[in-house]
Structure 1
Amino acid sequence: MLLFLNKAIKIFLVPIFILATTTCLFSQDSVSSNDIQSYFNQARKFKNQDKIDLALETLNTAANEAEKKEDIKALIDSLHELALLSLKIDKEGDTEFYWDQASVLLKDIAYPYADAMHKYIKAILLHRSNQNFQSLFMLNDAKQLNNDRNFYNNLLLTEARVYISLEKYDSATKNLNSLIVNTDIHEKEYLTTQAYLTLAELNLRTDNLAESAKNGENALVVAQTNGFLEDIKTANALLTTVYERLGLYQKSLVNSQNLLQLKDSIFNIEKNKIEAKTADKIKDDYKTEEIARQQKKIEELTESQNRSELTAILASAFLIIISLLAVTLYRNNQIKFKTNDLLQTKNKELQIARDGAVQAMEAKTNFLSTVSHELRTPLYAVTGLTHLLLEEEPQEHQKEHLKALKFSGDYLLNFINDILHINKIDANKLEPLNMEFNLNKVIHEVINSLTQSAKANNTKLILEYDSEIPSHLLSDPLKLSQIFMNLIGNSIKFTKGGEVKVIAKLLNKVEDDVTIYFEVSDNGIGISKEKQKSIFEGFEQGSIQINREYGGTGLGLTIVKSLLGLFKSKIELESTLGEGSSFFFEIEMKSLDDIPEDFSFEITPRDYDFKNLHLLIVEDNKINQVITKKMLSKKEMTSDIANNGHEAITLAQENVYDAILMDIHMPGISGEEATIEIRKFNQDIPIIALTAISLDDSLESFYAAGCNDVVTKPFKPDVFYQKIGENIFDKKPKNS
């Protein structure tokens, strides 16, 4: 009974000890010292060389140093590194122990890097238990919390292995290719080795035996150069299997003999016993020290002046706790067996539902990605041809139509972007830009682009613009343009033989803060009281009859509502059926009228002499080839055309170009793969990714493949020429 009471006292005092320890730790500087960081670097080196016992001892020293310095962040980092090292020797129980200890410390401290590492370790455990979709979600959460390069590279490696388990080989290959050319300052060679090995295993799975052998040999070379013993063993084992399946039995025998020799020399049972013994000793020592710390705290409390009072309180509390524990234990044992089967059944049902939801989400993402690319490609033709026509000195009446077409093309591109990212808008993950603009000009451009629609409906457009509104404002003109385009376009659509009035009025101005009132009203068909409640919901147009008569998707007002939410504004509606409607809202902006007149809001682009430059255009779309080639010839540049990635590699080997314009999405090999191959024999030529980028494209992967810059289609001509000039004449360094 006394022994049981002593244990209960310890249990009761653990929260007191944790609170006191945390308070003490927070009172000190929580930045890890260089000495502790050096332990982490040394342990990482031992781990990669398969000197696990030395790595464990080094990390244990780091943890002890962190406790001496009362550095809570360094202690958390030590626990996480011990957890990862335990995974390497398949001691998942130890990993969960260290992970739980770190969880306790993380509750009372804001440390994003540790939060990211915590989720990363959890993701690995989920992957090992074959819960791969949950692992991907956890890895994505970790990405959002930290951008440390070494951490991100290891996360990409784990993500690739999860993709392989899910048979998503293209996604895994993209990750692994970017790791092969990584620039990590801590584990460059180790990550390269792991990427080659994992890629070789993927090739073996997909029966691409030649590539598997090639990647396996690359991994073996890097591993032998750096003394990565475990990776040398793995590479020999893999190559033994690959060469045997290829029928190259002599090579298979060589690798098999190397493997046996390696196992006999270093990978033996005694070594594994030493590693396990070291790991168990460190964990037991940690537990012993934790118990000793708690015991010391109890003794300090016992020796205090309030010992008698504390003992009385504790005794009463322990009696209550013991009674409650006894009753709870009895009841839990009675119901545990009855509920266990039900819980397992429900868990399976939830797992199936979760997997279904994940698959549906992936299908939606793939659809949006396809839509993004397929819409941007024809838009490039529209905007490119418009630009070329405007430069061919059209007549004045044609110039007006071409400018309206150009503005509509720009609007349509932004419209597509917002539709594709409407889920981000609703989740408050998209923020409005802050750039200088003239509001009067923005509204006039929208009205001018809708003039033809108004004439077709015999509708008069009226603008009442307050002259007191400052001419220089700071906000997001693109999203404002889309709001006006939807509201005015809606009013014109539902108003025939009437008028649409647009009002912009200055409500308030305090120093550089201004509040502007906007209203778009019409005398069209109006909206009934019942439909006003749901008119801002998606695909809602009032009735099926209205939809059939007037057309449209019903998304216009939904987008307006979502976009105004970004400005922390709310749209209001007043309408009478048969008499018309009025939509109004207020937006707060910044006034820039107090700045000097010679202040420039934009960086003046440099003028480059493009004459006699020779470029390679890599593009599979015939129309886009013609447009891009003609835009280059406008600046007196010559060009060759490659219809696919294979042609691009051949032409780049046989000719000298000043730059390459590389499309990413092509049949055969992609632009990324073509860039990787070109970089093998030409490291200096500027390569600009000229692509209709989609949702699943990653700028990081473009740069990792070797691209110097990225221009998204459709693009503004001045941006296009500026990028070419910067990368050819300014010799911009390759991003990574």
Structure 2
Amino acid sequence: MTDEGSDTDAAGHSAEAELALVAHDLRTPLNAMRLTAELIAQGPLQPQQQERLGILLDAIDALSAMTGDLIQRGRSKQATGPQKPNEDARLILQSVHDLFAAVAERKRLDLIVTLTEQPLLLTQQVAIAFRRIVTTLLDNALKYTQRGSIRLDLAPATEPGQLQLVVTDTGPGIDVLERSRLFRPFTRGTAGRAGGSGSGLGLWGARALVEQAGGHLDLTTAPGGGCRFAIELPLADRPGEGTAASREANVEAHVLIVDDNDTNRRLLSALLESFAMTSDQAGSGAAAVAMAARTPYDAVLMDLHMPGMTGMEAAEALRHGPDGARLPLIAVTAALEAVGDRRLRQAGFQEVLAKPLSPSHLYQALELARQRRKLRMAEQVVDA
């Protein structure tokens, strides 16, 4: 006699194993793509080429993370690996925006992103789901919106411990009578069928991912008749903040970010937050010198190519400031070949990072800042 429940479990396990196998096979071309992109990055590139190559690398890494998640699901629960660090939803959203920015520009659509100042940390599993959800909704919005704008507004939700992302477009919208059935697999609405080819899996997959992550998705009509998707997802648990002294002790480092580009500063700040580091931001070399004279920093991340006072000039000025001889300076540049290592050392830089930044390389370079923080904390204990 056949156990129907056992047959169902076996079929489900087989499907997961087959999906994991496909994901495993996808890793080979993905690894080849990333290696090729890294080789391209070693050659002389224009700043715009560097920026586009960074978007390509982000897209490859996102696909690699998705395939890794599928492979992990195909394994037994006992085979789980080490816990990966939390990811900032702001960085993920900015990365997806960059991936689609060229499509929006080609269609002459305004693609607007608003981000909260505070970090919105997600566990690795929720972060992967969040990236896939945003990618799906933004892809749909760009496909069916012919004029106007698409907005992505990210902020903490009203309910504590949740984030809210609202995706709004000025497209044709979805009729109220069609909404419920459009969340079924292989189902397309009137606007979708009129707009060209499609699988009818996007909205069904997005809702499934939201629910699997413990969140909620709501579809309403946007002002003007387009679509408004509101997604709520759980944030990663954060330890209690404690007293000001304990917060100071738990900070890995306090870093000054110097870059004339506001987006670059915000992205670096978000990365530092994920490393348990705090930061201040300066939009020019002159501002950085003034801030360093007032505040003790554990390191400075300095863009080299800025109007007015260049990064080289700012570094030399910082070297003559308070405690300048011991302040770790890290250069950040998209034109690495244009500055020689000897010249950087003479200006006082201990490390140099090439744009687009690799989070792992940034983390390694900031070891100088962590050592600086430990030294400062030890000196404070002795003085006390």
Normalising by structure 2, report the TM-score.
0.53
Work out which of the residue numbers 475, 487, 499 in structure 1 matches 2:123: 475
* Deviation per residue, 1:569-594 (Å, 9 max, x gap): 11011137992100002234245794
* Deviation per residue, 1:505-556 (Å, 9 max, x gap): 33458xxx5433220011112112232112222233325x825744343333
Work out which of the residue numbers 73, 89, 97 in structure 2 matches 1:439: 89
SS state of the match for residue 435, structure 1? coil
The answer (yes or no) to whether the contact 1:464–1:504 under 8 Å persists in 2 is yes
CA deviation after TM superposition for structure 1 residue 459, in Å = 1.6
2:175 equivalent to 1:524: no
SS state of the match for residue 252, structure 2? coil
Task: Give the direction of change, closer, same or farther, for the CA distance of 1:414–1:578 in structure 2 (3 Å limit).
Answer: farther
Residue of structure 1 equivalent to 2:38 = 387
CA deviation after TM superposition for structure 1 residue 450, in Å = 0.8
2:214 equivalent to 1:564: no
Residue of structure 1 equivalent to 2:27 = 376
Task: Give the direction of change, closer, same or farther, for the CA distance of 1:465–1:365 in structure 2 (3 Å limit).
Answer: closer
Residue of structure 2 equivalent to 1:598 = 252
Residue of structure 1 equivalent to 2:316 = none
2:151 equivalent to 1:501: yes
Q: Distance in 1 between matches of 2:156 and 2:122?
A: 15
| Residue identity in the other structure for 2:251 | E
Residue of structure 1 equivalent to 2:311 = none
2:115 equivalent to 1:465: yes
* Deviation per residue, 1:336-385 (Å, 9 max, x gap): xxxxxxxxxxx4xx57x899878866874564354223322211111111
Task: Give the direction of change, closer, same or farther, for the CA distance of 1:529–1:418 in structure 2 (3 Å limit).
Answer: farther
Residue of structure 1 equivalent to 2:331 = none
Residue of structure 1 equivalent to 2:57 = 406
Q: Distance in 2 between matches of 1:474 and 1:532?
A: 29
Gaps of at least 5 residues in structure 1 are: 1-346, 425-429, 604-715, 723-736
- 1:272-311 equivalences under 5 Å are none
SS state of the match for residue 466, structure 1? coil
Q: Distance in 1 between matches of 2:22 and 2:148?
A: 37
The answer (yes or no) to whether the contact 1:404–1:448 under 8 Å persists in 2 is yes
Residue of structure 2 equivalent to 1:515 = 162
The answer (yes or no) to whether the contact 1:527–1:576 under 8 Å persists in 2 is no
SS state of the match for residue 535, structure 1? helix
- 1:333-352 equivalences under 5 Å are 347=1, 350=2
Task: Give the direction of change, closer, same or farther, for the CA distance of 1:561–1:497 in structure 2 (3 Å limit).
Answer: same
Task: Give the direction of change, closer, same or farther, for the CA distance of 1:576–1:445 in structure 2 (3 Å limit).
Answer: closer
CA deviation after TM superposition for structure 1 residue 395, in Å = 1.8
Residue of structure 2 equivalent to 1:581 = 227
The answer (yes or no) to whether the contact 1:472–1:592 under 8 Å persists in 2 is no
Gaps of at least 5 residues in structure 2 are: 242-246, 254-271, 277-357, 365-384
Task: Give the direction of change, closer, same or farther, for the CA distance of 1:382–1:593 in structure 2 (3 Å limit).
Answer: farther
SS state of the match for residue 471, structure 1? coil
Q: Distance in 2 between matches of 1:405 and 1:423?
A: 27
Residue of structure 2 equivalent to 1:450 = 100
* Deviation per residue, 1:83-126 (Å, 9 max, x gap): xxxxxxxxxxxxxxxxxxxxxxxxxxxxxxxxxxxxxxxxxxxx
SS state of the match for residue 188, structure 2? coil
Task: Give the direction of change, closer, same or farther, for the CA distance of 1:440–1:354 in structure 2 (3 Å limit).
Answer: closer
The answer (yes or no) to whether the contact 1:472–1:591 under 8 Å persists in 2 is no
- 1:643-662 equivalences under 5 Å are none
2:201 equivalent to 1:555: yes
The answer (yes or no) to whether the contact 1:472–1:593 under 8 Å persists in 2 is no
* Structure with greater proportional strand content: 2
Task: Give the direction of change, closer, same or farther, for the CA distance of 1:357–1:392 in structure 2 (3 Å limit).
Answer: same
SS state of the match for residue 546, structure 1? helix
Q: Distance in 1 between matches of 2:128 and 2:10?
A: 34
Task: Give the direction of change, closer, same or farther, for the CA distance of 1:587–1:434 in structure 2 (3 Å limit).
Answer: farther
The answer (yes or no) to whether the contact 1:574–1:582 under 8 Å persists in 2 is yes
Q: Distance in 1 between matches of 2:70 and 2:201?
A: 9
SS state of the match for residue 408, structure 1? helix
How many residues align? The count is 249
Normalising by structure 1, report the TM-score.
0.29
- 1:114-133 equivalences under 5 Å are none
Task: Give the direction of change, closer, same or farther, for the CA distance of 1:455–1:363 in structure 2 (3 Å limit).
Answer: same
SS state of the match for residue 140, structure 2? helix
* Deviation per residue, 1:598-628 (Å, 9 max, x gap): 268659xxxxxxxxxxxxxxxxxxxxxxxxx
CA deviation after TM superposition for structure 1 residue 413, in Å = 2.7
* Structure with greater proportional helix content: 1
Task: Give the direction of change, closer, same or farther, for the CA distance of 1:597–1:355 in structure 2 (3 Å limit).
Answer: closer
The answer (yes or no) to whether the contact 2:20–2:70 under 8 Å persists in 1 is no
Identity value in percent: 21
Q: Distance in 1 between matches of 2:223 and 2:39?
A: 47
Task: Give the direction of change, closer, same or farther, for the CA distance of 1:418–1:546 in structure 2 (3 Å limit).
Answer: farther
Q: Distance in 2 between matches of 1:485 and 1:458?
A: 19
Q: Distance in 1 between matches of 2:19 and 2:157?
A: 40
Work out which of the residue numbers 525, 529, 537 in structure 1 matches 2:184: 537
Q: Distance in 2 between matches of 1:383 and 1:447?
A: 20
Which protein has greater RCO, CA pairs closer than 8 Å, 6+ apart? 2
| Residue identity in the other structure for 1:565 | E
Q: Distance in 2 between matches of 1:570 and 1:537?
A: 16
Residue of structure 2 equivalent to 1:490 = 140
Residue of structure 2 equivalent to 1:277 = none
- State which structure, 1 or 2, has the greater radius of gyration over its C-alpha atoms: 1
Task: Give the direction of change, closer, same or farther, for the CA distance of 1:523–1:364 in structure 2 (3 Å limit).
Answer: same
The answer (yes or no) to whether the contact 2:16–2:73 under 8 Å persists in 1 is no
Task: Give the direction of change, closer, same or farther, for the CA distance of 1:454–1:373 in structure 2 (3 Å limit).
Answer: same
The answer (yes or no) to whether the contact 1:500–1:522 under 8 Å persists in 2 is yes
SS state of the match for residue 189, structure 2? coil
Q: Distance in 2 between matches of 1:462 and 1:602?
A: 27
